Chains A and B, each alone.
Chain A
Amino acid sequence: MEAYLAAIAAIALIYVLLALGLTLHYGLTGLINFGHVGFFCIGAYAAAILSTKGGMPIAVGFVAAAVLAGLAAWPIGLVSLRLRDDYFAIVTLGFSETVRLVVTSERWLTNGVQGIPGIPRLFEGLGVGMPSALAIVGVLLAVNAAAIWLFFRLVKSPFGRMIEAIRDNEEAVRALGKDPARFKIRVLVLGAALAGIAGAFYAHYIGYVVPDQFIPLVTFYVWMAIIMGGVGRISGAVVGAALLMLFLEGSRFLRDVVPFISAVDMASVRIGAVGLALVLFTMFRPQGLMGDYTRR
């Protein structure tokens, strides 16, 4: 039971990292990033390849995951950030699908659909079981706390005021002589690097990576989390990720209760529930659970 709770906590904390990155992109700056899973995927594969085929220490993999995911965001930003925001959504969606095609096709590097097994776990030296599991959760908590602290500092800084101004009125920012695109690219790279770190944690936690783990549905899990929690609020990202985990694990238990539903059907029920949540929250509670109750 403790092991199960530790496992849920670890996955939930990885989702919090993803949700924080998306909060930075969409909640604070207004970038409609529909390709978050692409950066997550790059981070996971970077960590997996370096620690297995590359034989590098795990720490190198983490740095590489953050750097490569951030670098991947750079050209995307250069190409599309001067465009209207709905175009940005389409381009990022295309980006994440292209990343998945690349890891599926480049067998020499990624083993194609077979994926990369045998990624070393974190803290293997502490022995298998509770000590290492608790250590992983502890590290994830520390990383999340650091990210949240950074976020609070960022929001209070001139940079934070600028990106929120871009979200609220980009024309006004431009009229003041600032170039919104430069700020947006920095935000995009920063959030992508955070997703890359989340990917490295995921790869080392699960122990294997395959392309099917990085379908666009994951991006919309994270969207569902921040929309449920409340867009643009750090507390919203945390609460939303917790709700998401409750939903994902709850649907697993539903299968134990309702025996005649098969695994593939359950996956469909889950997709449908995500869709329903996205539609209903957008229509009836756009500010989310933690959002400003006075505004609509």
Chain B
Amino acid sequence: MVFWVELLIAGVVSGLVIGLVALAITLVFGIARFPNAATGDTMTLGAYGALAGHAATGSLLLGGALGALGGAVTGLAAYALVFRRLSGRSTVALLVASIGIGFILRAGLALAFGHTQQVFQAPLVRPWRFEGVRIHPNDLRLAATAAFALAVVFATLYLTPIGRRMRAVADDPALARVCGISPVRVMVALWLLAGAVAGIAGVILGMRTVVAPEIGWDMLLPGFAAAILGGIGSPVGAVVAGLIIGIAQEMATPVVGFTYKIALAFVVMLFVLLVRPRGLFGRVEGVR
């Protein structure tokens, strides 16, 4: 019993990371209307940014902030240099370009920081015990960070004027334009937000495990799976689906083994596309 509860807790924490990735994917998919394959490598950049920031300042908090900032700047740069110029072109053009941007980011990070795995030099803390269940204070801190980031994103989306405009563009770009909403400002806000979310996801992933050039790319598939399970364009769905996939992956590990827990995301994705292509919270139109 204790064993499964510990797996559940690990699942919730990794589910929050997947939820953040899926949120970054679904925001871009909903508003810019293509699956951004550079999301994973933006995460990696966030993780390395936090590593460098932590080494320079000695503060995990400042390092994490630098990682988020790095992600936001990367998102904005990708939009300004590439995606903006490809607007109006087919989905495949944007998709191929996003793959290319991901490769460039990964190559740059590997050249700058090397290929060896690095870890955050954080003090070791003894886990707390509740009824025999071990809980790592670090996991709690990271979960709190993820929850805080999610709260900020949802507050931006649902409580601020720019968030309302973003949702309007997601709903109907033509109608939003007729109503006088500037598409460029919405896009700038979108890419800053999505980049920062991906950056924070990378920081949390890097602090929980290790930092290496491939960590982000490996999260792309679970992220896509969660975005589809939650329903493309639905921020709430992305987070809920991320938690479901994270918990399912951890709980399945004793049964299917460590390697196949990654394949589980693919199976979930296929199953959702077969049974309910619009996902848990998605709208009816636009998938088939």
Number of A-B contacts (CB under 8 A): 130
Instruction: Assess whether B107 is interfacial by the CB under 8 Å rule.
Output: yes
* Contact assessment for B107 and A275 in the assembled complex, using a CB-CB cutoff below 8 Å: yes
Which residues from chain A contact B266 at a C-beta distance below 8 Å? 94-95, 97-98
- Would you call A87 and B287 a contact (CB within 8 A)? yes
A105 pairs with B107, CB closer than 8 A: no
CB distance from B218 to the nearest CB of A (A): 9
Q: Does A272 contact B (CB under 8 A)?
A: yes
Given contacts A91-B273, A220-B99, contact A269 B107 (CB under 8 A): yes
Q: A275 to B107, alpha carbons, bound, how many Å?
A: 9
Q: Is the CB of B228 within 8 A of A87?
A: yes
Main secondary structure of the interface of B (DSSP, over half): helix
Contact with B along A91-106 (1 / 0, CB 8 A): 1011101100110110
A283 within 8 A of B: yes
- List residues of chain A with CB within 8 A of the CB of B257: 105
Distance, CA A98 to CA B119, complexed state (A) = 28
Interface centre among B92, B108, B263, B269 (most CB of A within 10 A): B92
Question: Measuring CB to CB, which residues of chain A are less than 8 angstroms from any residue of chain B?
Answer: 26, 32, 34, 79-80, 82-87, 89-91, 93-95, 97-98, 101-102, 104-105, 217, 220, 223, 227, 264-265, 268-279, 282-283, 286
Given A268-B106, A271-B103, 8 extra CB contacts under 8 A:
A32-B95, A84-B288, A94-B225, A97-B262, A105-B259, A275-B102, A279-B100, A283-B82
23 A-B residue pairs with CB within 8 Å: A32-B91, A84-B286, A86-B35, A86-B95, A90-B269, A91-B269, A93-B221, A94-B265, A95-B266, A97-B221, A101-B259, A223-B96, A270-B107, A271-B103, A271-B106, A271-B110, A272-B103, A272-B108, A273-B107, A274-B100, A275-B106, A279-B97, A279-B100
Top 3 closest A-B pairs, CB basis?
A275-B103, A272-B107, A278-B100
Residues of B near any A CB (own CB < 8 A): 34-35, 37, 82, 85-86, 89, 91-93, 95-97, 99-108, 110-111, 115, 213, 221, 224-225, 228, 257, 259-260, 262-263, 265-266, 269-270, 273-274, 277, 286-288
